[in-house]
């Protein structure tokens, strides 16, 4: 456990440095880079140890907290860098007075940010408005080598990590696997990763090619122009609803959250937390379900009325997120879906029993949200074949760097009902009416519930996708209620 102590020491140093900066109004880019580097080093070591099952439940929750902190700091850093790129989206012409064409200067920080987010040299040239050879010269001047950005992880370590991800997400393809690895801090060459997946899962790799999906064309002017929100009800039988939001331009997932209710307050809470971090969109499209009322009211209050701040329409017209739900279910939720039905078939779960449902939600809501967060990070970093293999994060950055502000795009009143519709997109296979999900009451006293939280963690390691943890919680609750 020496490595764990080293990681804790490194994190304590970061916390101390942050405490020294608490009186500042903002952090400099140097501070952010320093904190990000230290936390990434600690996180990679902790993830490697976690894969070897050497950590307790509390330590695993600690790793998850470190990952969340890392995501927040990355987002702050990205927002800071994007503000610089957006303010000067082209290279600066530098006149030296010498013979020949003037020199194009590109800030080294901007080059590092774009390379770190996996933009190719031609894409950087397009963003900065210069030639490809100019970008290559500036990279050479700054001593930035793209090949140095790839991880130097050994084949045996990569084999173990890819196998672990494949076990958790058996429907994960090559591009989605790239996203999972990048979200964990590993950048691997595509050819190398493809060879590993073919060796680990040759049958699944062949099936993915047979089930390739034809992507439809879709167009909105820029990031933050239109968000699509919706609820996913595949797990409604077990009183679980997944709420999601996706940016129409970049396909970046804004949030994915599983909840035990379908209330308007819950959806609004997810939405406001996300837009506080990523920015308020110009418009939001959703269906006419009652769970969207809070978001609709919020958007009209923030962006104004009479301009389509919230576009309410049929669920079949919200194809951007309907397309996403297919990938979320096949790439993440299907394991839980099949596990829950198997639990019922084996008489382990009775959905009519309130005690069973309390234990069920205690364990699986947190496990589902953990899986959804990992899926979201992987999705936002996976290449899109229909967008020249750019990732949603890259499309987001490129769109913001083009300098088109969302409020500059005017939509005619007659076009508002049809704005953001993909007429050739997939149709919803769910009922568009409001779905009421009854609350599951907690039968334990406050003291007993606190003891449960301290005794059993929903994120404990499990070889049965959490079923064994559910049985432990059920036994604990029944014992406290004198039912056994």
Q: What is the distance between the alpha carbons of residues 192 and 65, in angstroms, rounded to a whole number? A: 31
Helix, strand or coil, per DSSP, at residue 216:
coil
Check: CB of residue 333 under 8 Å from CB of residue 234: yes
Q: What is the distance between the alpha carbons of residues 70 and 42, in angstroms, rounded to a whole number? A: 10
Which phi and psi (to 5°) does residue 88 adopt? -145, 75
Which phi and psi (to 5°) does residue 281 adopt? -75, 165
Q: What is the distance between the alpha carbons of residues 416 and 412, in angstroms, rounded to a whole number? A: 6
Element housing 94 (H / E): strand 92-94
Check: CB of residue 98 under 8 Å from CB of residue 89: no
Check: CB of residue 29 under 8 Å from CB of residue 116: no
CA proximity to 385, closest of 219, 220, 215:
215
Helix, strand or coil, per DSSP, at residue 294:
helix
For domain 88-92+102-149, the CATH class is mainly alpha
Q: What is the distance between the alpha carbons of residues 19 and 17, in angstroms, rounded to a whole number? A: 5
For domain 226-418, the CATH class is alpha beta
230 pairs with which residues across the strands?
A: 244
DSSP E strand boundaries for 156-280:
226-232, 241-247, 253-259
55 Cβ contact partners less than 8 Å away, ≥ 6 residues apart: 4, 46, 49, 63
Q: What is the distance between the alpha carbons of residues 212 and 406, in angstroms, rounded to a whole number? A: 34
Q: From first to last of its 484 residues, what are the pLDDT tens digits of the chain? A: 555 666 666 666 666 565 555 444 445 555 566 666 666 666 666 666 655 555 666 666 666 667 666 666 666 655 555 555 544 456 777 776 677 777 888 888 888 888 887 788 888 888 888 888 888 888 888 888 877 777 778 877 887 787 777 777 776 777 777 777 877 778 877 777 777 667 666 656 555 555 544 444 556 778 888 899 999 999 999 999 999 999 988 899 999 999 999 999 999 999 999 998 888 998 898 888 888 999 999 999 988 888 888 888 765 567 778 888 988 998 899 999 999 999 999 999 999 999 999 999 999 999 999 999 999 999 998 888 878 888 999 888 888 877 555 555 555 555 555 455 554 445 445 544 557 788 888 999 999 999 999 999 999 888 888 999 999 999 999 999 988 6
Q: Where are the domains of the chain?
A: 2-86, 88-92+102-149, 155-210, 226-418
Q: What is the distance between the alpha carbons of residues 266 and 244, in angstroms, rounded to a whole number? A: 12
């Amino acid at each position: 456990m020496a490595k764990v102590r080293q990681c804790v020491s490194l994190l304590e140093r970061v916390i101390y440095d942050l405490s020294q900066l608490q009186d500042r109004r903002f952090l400099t880019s140097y501070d952010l880079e320093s904190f990000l580097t230290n936390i990434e080093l600690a996180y990679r070591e902790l993830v490697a140890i976690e894969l070897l099952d050497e950590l307790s439940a509390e330590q695993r929750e600690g790793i998850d907290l470190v990952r969340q902190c890392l995501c927040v700091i990355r987002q702050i850093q990205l927002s800071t860098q994007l503000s610089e790129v957006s303010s000067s989206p082209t290279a600066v012409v530098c006149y030296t007075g010498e013979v020949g064409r003037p020199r194009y200067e590109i800030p080294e920080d901007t080059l590092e940010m774009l390379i770190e987010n996996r933009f190719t040299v031609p894409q950087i040239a397009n963003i900065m408005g210069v030639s490809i050879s100019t970008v290559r010269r500036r990279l050479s001047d700054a001593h930035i080598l793209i090949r140095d950005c790839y991880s130097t992880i050994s084949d045996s370590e990569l084999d173990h990590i890819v196998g672990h991800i494949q076990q958790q997400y058996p429907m994960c393809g090559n591009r989605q696997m790239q996203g999972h690895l990048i979200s964990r801090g590993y950048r691997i060459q595509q050819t190398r990763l493809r060879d590993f997946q073919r060796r680990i899962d040759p049958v699944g790799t062949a099936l993915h090619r047979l089930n390739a999906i034809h992507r439809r064309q879709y167009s909105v002017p820029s990031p933050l122009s239109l968000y699509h929100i919706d609820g996913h009800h595949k797990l409604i039988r077990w009183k679980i609803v997944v709420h999601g939001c996706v940016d129409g331009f970049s396909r970046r997932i804004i949030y994915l959250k599983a909840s035990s209710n379908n209330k308007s307050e819950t959806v609004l809470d997810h939405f406001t937390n996300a837009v506080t971090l990523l920015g308020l969109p110009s418009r939001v499209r959703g269906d006419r379900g009652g769970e969207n009322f809070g978001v609709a009211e919020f958007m009209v209050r923030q962006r104004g009325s009479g301009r389509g701040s919230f576009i309410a329409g049929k669920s079949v017209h919200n194809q951007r997120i309907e397309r996403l739900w297919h990938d979320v279910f096949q790439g993440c939720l299907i394991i839980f879906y099949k596990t829950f039905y198997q639990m019922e078939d084996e008489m382990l779960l009775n959905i009519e029993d309130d005690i069973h449902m309390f234990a069920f939600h205690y364990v699986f809501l947190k496990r589902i949200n953990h899986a959804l967060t990992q899926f979201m990070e992987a999705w936002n970093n996976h290449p899109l074949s229909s967008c020249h293999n750019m990732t949603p994060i890259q499309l987001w950055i490129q769109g913001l760097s083009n300098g088109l502000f969302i409020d500059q795009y005017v939509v005619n009143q007659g076009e508002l009902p049809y704005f953001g519709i993909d007429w050739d997109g997939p149709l919803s296979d769910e009922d568009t009416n409001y779905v009421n999900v009854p609350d599951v009451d907690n039968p334990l006293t406050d003291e007993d519930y606190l003891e449960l939280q301290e005794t059993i963690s929903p994120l404990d390691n499990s070889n049965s996708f959490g079923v064994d943890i559910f049985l432990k919680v059920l036994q604990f609750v029944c014992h406290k209620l004198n039912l056994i």
